[in-house]
Amino acid sequence: MFKSVFLLFVLVAAFNNNTHGQIFYTKNGSISFFSKTIVEDIDAKNNQVISVINFQTGTIQFSLLNNGFRFPKAKMEEDFKANYMETDKYPRSTFKGVISDISNVNFSKDDAYKVNVKGSLSIHGVTKEIEVPGVIIVKNGTISAQTEFNVLVEDYKISVPSIVSNKIARSIQIIVNCHYEKK
Amino acid sequence: MSKVTKRFIFFFSIGILLIAVIVTYNIWNQHHEDIQNAEARSMTAVQLYKSLSEGSEEIKSILINQVINVSGEINQVIKNQKGQQVILLKTGTSGGSVNCTMEEEVMNIKEGDVVILKGVCIGYISGDPEIDLPGDVFLIRCYRSS
């Protein structure tokens, strides 16, 4: 009887320690974007990204405040907030989606696992379905997620005045890099 | 038109063009606001969190994008993945913090210390109620204030 109870206890403990079926989150994830033109390269970073991954369901979500992006130049930052992203009107950007091949990730083995993420990206009041490749990195029991993809400025109804159109790329590279902790 | 008038117009135009280039250059390259010496509204972490997580849109619009002196008890000191120090202040909501990304690392601080931090308030992000994860209020470009 004692052996059975002990075995049950060990099985429950092992299940709880298995990261599969667990929730991971960060409140200081990093998302940056990069615009490259002949005239100027623009690189902005936001290190206040809230992200949650549920490894049982494969759901993943990101949320950030658009006015948290930091630019090397004050004028760039001011224009980004007031003219392009209209942060007073559209304060947040979000992504909600599903990691389609989460079962390929072995959480007990350190490695970089290629995955596909599909979901809704909302920027500037416009929501679009996107599908992007990503990488889940398992290392010493910690989880990181990385992806890079491009969005078209016009897809999200961000208007760029013609006077500065040569300084801002039509296609913006988005770089996501989040380190998670267990909930 | 005389030769002298033509020359005057030519040099005047060059002068105007030069001024326009200098003004544009200066505007484009102006520095970020000096947070340490900026005027700031003072409030506690508990007040700030409550104002942004539960307050009216009017209160939020007064606080967001403003420099704030926020005082509170340290819940946790962490590093973000860029290596910047992040100080989490207690808010009275378990798991919900005033999340301050520091511009300069503050030495010799620990959980339980009461500090005043000065930075730009960018707003509140709600967490995920389904998994009982409260949101945070975020301050960036933070310095320790005396």
Q: What pLDDT does A118 receive?
A: 97
- Smallest Cβ–Cβ distance between B136 and the set A27, A47, A178 belongs to A27
pLDDT tens, position by position, for chain B (146 residues)? 788 899 999 999 999 999 999 988 888 788 888 999 999 999 999 999 999 999 899 999 999 999 999 999 999 999 998 899 999 999 999 999 999 999 999 999 999 999 999 999 999 999 888 888 999 999 999 999 97
Q: What pLDDT does A2 receive?
A: 52
Virtual torsion, Cα A152, A154, A157, A161, nearest 10 deg: 120
Which residues does A contribute to its contact with B (CB < 8 Å)? 23, 25, 27-30, 45, 47-48, 50, 52, 54, 61, 63-65, 67-68, 70, 73-75, 77, 81, 88, 91-92, 177-179, 183
Would you say A95 and A118 are in contact if contact means Cβ atoms under 8 Å apart? no
Tell me the pLDDT tens digit for each residue of A12-63: 444 444 444 589 999 999 999 999 998 888 999 999 999 999 988 999 999 9
Whether ipTM tops 0.90, in short, is: no
Q: What pLDDT does A13 receive?
A: 46
**Chain A residues inside the 8 Å CB shell of B141:** 70
Q: What pLDDT does B81 receive?
A: 87
State whether residue B56 sits within 8 Å of chain A by CB. no
- B64 contacts A91? CB cut-off 8 A: yes
Measured between alpha carbons, how far is B60 from B19 in angstroms, rounded to an integer?
Answer: 40
pTM: 0.87
pLDDT tens, position by position, for chain A (183 residues)? 555 555 544 444 444 444 445 899 999 999 999 999 988 889 999 999 999 999 889 999 999 999 999 999 999 899 999 999 999 999 999 999 999 888 888 888 999 999 999 999 999 999 999 999 999 999 988 899 999 999 999 999 998 888 777 888 999 999 999 999 988
| DSSP state letters, B8-52 | HHHHHHHHHHHHHHHHHHHHHTPPPP-GGGS--EEEEHHHHHHHH
Q: What pLDDT does B91 receive?
A: 97
Measured between alpha carbons, how far is B49 from A1 in angstroms, rounded to an integer?
Answer: 52
**Chain B residues inside the 8 Å CB shell of A95:** none
Q: What pLDDT does A6 receive?
A: 52
**Chain B residues inside the 8 Å CB shell of A65:** 122-123, 125, 138
State whether residue B127 sits within 8 Å of chain A by CB. yes
- A47 contacts B81? CB cut-off 8 A: yes
Nearest-Cα distance to chain A for B12, in Å, is 24
| DSSP state letters, A140-158 | TTEEEEEEEEEEEGGGGT-
